[in-house]
Amino acid sequence: MRLARALPAAKIPASSCYLNLFPPPSRRRRNTKKWIGAYAAALGGVDTLVFAGGIGENCPAIRRRICAGLGFLGLELNPARNARNAPLISAAASPVAVRVIRTDEELMIARSVTRLLGLGKGRLGAVKK
């Protein structure tokens, strides 16, 4: 996700880079939609859809394209909220909440490795955000 952090500093529009990052992007979005649909069917519906991780947190264009066509599940995005990466990006009238959750993936991986190696709490276990 270093790329996501470097894009604003380089003045490169994130949407143009992310959309070309994973070839072919249309197939990846279709697969993501299939998983969302499969989980919605298995769970009997959707209350909340959460985007997290580097691209989920930082790329409104991909979130918009993933959610496009999922209106039948009750998903409706607020374009302005989505564009500014707000914590809640669904429209006020949307029956399904769509959220952007900040994560610290590197810290969670480090904590898991520390625990698996039996290194105790140490500094990584004590880190609070």
Residue pLDDT, tens place only, 69-127: 899 999 999 999 999 999 999 999 999 999 999 888 888 888 899 989 988 765 555 55
> Which of these ranges, 17-21, 39-43, 78-82, has the smallest mean pLDDT?
17-21
**Which structural domain, as residue segments, surrounds residue 9?**
2-126
**Model confidence pLDDT, tens digit, residues 23-32:** 455 566 678 8
Residue type, 106: E
Q: In the chain, where does DSSP find H-type helix?
A: 2-9, 14-18, 25-43, 53-58, 60-67, 79-83, 105-116, 122-126
CATH of the domain at 119: 3.30.420.40
Number of domains in the chain: 1
